Structure 1
Amino acid sequence: MSQVQKKNELTDPEQSRKETIIKIQSYLAQGYKSSDICKIMKTTYRQIRKYSVGDPDILCRRSKSSVHKSHLDPFKPLILEHLALKAEIKSIHKLLIERGHTGKLTNLYDYCKRLLEIEGMDHPKNTNIIGVKYNEAKPKGHCLERSRILRYLWSKLDIPPTDLSFILEKYPILKEMRDCISDFRRIYIDKNVRLLEEFIEKYGKSTNKNLKSFATGLFRDLIAVKNSIISEYSNGFLEGNNNRLKMIKRTMYGRAGLDLLRAKIIN
């Protein structure tokens, strides 16, 4: 085999890198977002930017001297020593920080990945990392998003019974909040002032300071709240215009006088 053929052949790390580059460019061509590609390929934004454009056969090649062009070069002997001892990269980073290094942990991960490839070293805990270390054995937890719980309270969004019983048992306040929303909505559906008085009496004694404060505020403006229940009229149009005028006033701060303000309000 000629020297040219040997030179053109890809090493195993380069072949693996080429496959990674092809996948990244393929996902980008299909319209995937960088965040989605990071999750699918367990890679980094930096690597996606680096390999997003270009010939994979050229991008995948890396000379053995490329690793030396780094601010981590002065620490290379120390890093190799600890990698040989199978040390965690996080612990190596802490040691480098003590020695005056100011770089980020993700940069050290990338640097160690290249060192492991070039030196042919075996590092069981870190050989599969690309910028970030992942623990595949860690089970994925089951969770309910805060937005789903809020939609359940306000709009009766369906939540699996097992999940619902768990969160109501763990957070009893949610049941009181759900009942409060339902009771307050019933006041305006039935247009019943008596229900308002019962609502204020019930939640005015609540141990939850927010619900108690809400009930106290209703009692303080009791006449206005009663009118909002029994009256067919609404001051929403007036409040909307007040909000508009206040916004115009704020945007006019430091500008011309009443003539310009009047023109903006009329228009």
Structure 2
Amino acid sequence: MTQNTVARYQKAARPEDLFHGQCQGRASKLDPFKPYLQQQWNEGRTNVWKLYEEIKAVGYPGGYGPVRSYLKPFRKVPGPIGPKPMSPRAVASWILSHPDSLDEVQHHQLKCILGTCPELASLTRHVRSFAIMLARRQGEHLPEWIAAVHGDDLPSLHRFASHLERDLDAAIAGLTLPWNSGVVEGHVNRIKMLKRQMFGRASFALLRRRVLLA
């Protein structure tokens, strides 16, 4: 596309200004239907064949070619450039963060995103209510939370809730009691590290000695 062509498209105030040539200005069978085609195109209906079928049904006597030729320049008119969509990673971090830790811009953007996706809004509500249970040790609310999750169309979260139901008593205890198995898990990871350092070639006696003296 040459520089003159780009300038012509930029300066065009209406689609008709994009037409040039010896046929410009002549009467066409398509003329009575051009306002309708332009209106439908501006509303986002850009399937040329369907538009042709619509005007054909209401009396357009011509063929498909003139309709395609008339609408072809419309595709070259640059439309408004919207804001760059947020990445899934950024949206996920906002959902997993405490609402008070988000600034005003992030809070507004997240609100707009949740307003356009009811499923994501439901997911956010369940995630934050679970975080409240975890922070405030309100494990007694876990059965109610699981029931609410199963009531929404969120298959991925359903699997998580089903896993909690398999050992519900332990899950409730973990969300209620101040004790946890973190210390035990730390010792297990330390022993595994020592075992990997020896590449499985040393005896159990040496491993026992290293664990006791570490």
What TM-score results when the alignment is normalised by the length of structure 2? 0.51
The 8 Å contact of residues 204 and 216 in structure 1, kept in 2 or not, is answered as no
Does residue 89 of structure 2 align to residue 143 of structure 1? Answer: no
Which residue of structure 2 aligns with residue 185 of structure 1? 131
CA displacement at 1:174 relative to structure 2 = 2.4
* Length, aligned pairs only: 130
Alpha-carbon distance in 2 for matches of 1:241, 1:199: 33
C-alpha spacing 1:256/1:180, structure 2 compared with 1 (3 Å): same
Which residue of structure 1 aligns with residue 94 of structure 2? 152
Structure 1 SS opposite 2:205: helix
CA displacement at 1:193 relative to structure 2 = 3.6
Does residue 159 of structure 2 align to residue 249 of structure 1? Answer: no
Alpha-carbon distance in 2 for matches of 1:206, 1:249: 46
Q: Deviations over 1:58-106 (max 9, x none)?
A: xxxxxxxxxxxxxxxxxxxxxxxxxxxxxxxxxxxxxxxxxxxxxxxxx
Alpha-carbon distance in 2 for matches of 1:249, 1:243: 10
Structure 2 SS opposite 1:198: helix
Which residue of structure 2 aligns with residue 260 of structure 1? 206
Letter in 1 for 2:96: W
What root-mean-square deviation, in Å, do the aligned CA atoms of Structure 1 and Structure 2 show? Answer: 2.7
Structure 1, unpaired ranges of 5+: 1-137
C-alpha spacing 1:263/1:171, structure 2 compared with 1 (3 Å): farther
Alpha-carbon distance in 1 for matches of 2:196, 2:122: 40
Alpha-carbon distance in 1 for matches of 2:120, 2:129: 14
Letter in 1 for 2:173: N
Which residue of structure 1 aligns with residue 175 of structure 2? 229
CA displacement at 1:220 relative to structure 2 = 0.9
CA displacement at 1:153 relative to structure 2 = 0.7
Percent of residue pairs bearing the same amino acid type: 28
Alpha-carbon distance in 1 for matches of 2:165, 2:175: 14
Question: Highest relative contact order (Cα 8 Å, sep 6+), 1 or 2?
Answer: 2
C-alpha spacing 1:169/1:253, structure 2 compared with 1 (3 Å): same
Which residue of structure 2 aligns with residue 198 of structure 1? 144
Structure 2, unpaired ranges of 5+: 1-79
Letter in 2 for 1:245: I
C-alpha spacing 1:162/1:182, structure 2 compared with 1 (3 Å): closer
Q: Deviations over 1:122-153 (max 9, x none)?
A: xxxxxxxxxxxxxxxx9695232333212211
The 8 Å contact of residues 204 and 213 in structure 1, kept in 2 or not, is answered as no
Which residue of structure 1 aligns with residue 164 of structure 2? 218
Letter in 2 for 1:153: I
C-alpha spacing 1:146/1:221, structure 2 compared with 1 (3 Å): same
CA displacement at 1:250 relative to structure 2 = 3.6
CA displacement at 1:241 relative to structure 2 = 1.4
Superposed structure 1 runs of 4+ greater than 6 Å apart: none
The 8 Å contact of residues 140 and 172 in structure 2, kept in 1 or not, is answered as no
Letter in 2 for 1:208: L
